């Protein structure tokens, strides 16, 4: 089955440490997105990529970095510069076909906590 996979489901970060969240999709989608969700809050856009080797900052990019070396993969690194990284992180992808059925597909999320 095609889908989008995030790993790990739970991740712990020590002070001053960089951690990387994985996002892989086998839907052959060009566009991929990273969102952050805090308790009781909506989804805030961190970074997005419309094509391989290209990405743009979202609304809250500070303290995060991404890469898009392969179409299938869009890893997110939470750097030590992100002072409040505890949150639920969601990855999503969107199809390339010009179709009325276009929509975002979300992964199941990664909960990041600071030790």
Q: Which CB sits closer to another protein, 58 or 63?
A: 58
Residues that bind another protein (CB under 8 A): 30-31, 33, 35, 41-43, 45, 48, 50, 56, 58-59, 88, 90, 92, 94, 96, 98, 102-109, 111
- The verdict on whether omega for the bond into residue 101 sits within 30 degrees of 0, i.e. cis, is no
Q: Distance (Å, rounded) from C-alpha 6 to C-alpha 88? A: 12
Q: Which CB sits closer to another protein, 18 or 26?
A: 26
Q: How far is the CB of 92 from another protein (least distance, A)?
A: 8
C-alpha pair distances (Å), 5 with each of 27, 36, 40, 43, 74: 11, 16, 24, 18, 11
């Amino acid at each position: 089955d095609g889908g989008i996979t995030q790993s790990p489901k739970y991740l712990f970060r020590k002070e001053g440490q960089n951690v990387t969240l994985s996002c892989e999709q086998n839907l052959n989608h060009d566009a991929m997105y990273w969102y952050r969700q805090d308790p009781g809050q909506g989804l805030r856009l961190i970074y997005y990529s419309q094509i391989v080797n290209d990405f743009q900052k979202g609304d809250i990019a500070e303290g995060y970095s991404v890469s898009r070396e392969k179409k299938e993969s869009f890893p997110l690194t939470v750097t030590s510069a992100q002072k409040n990284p505890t949150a639920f992180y969601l990855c999503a992808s969107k199809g390339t076909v010009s179709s009325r059925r276009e929509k975002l597909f979300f992964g199941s999320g990664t909960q990041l906590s600071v030790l």
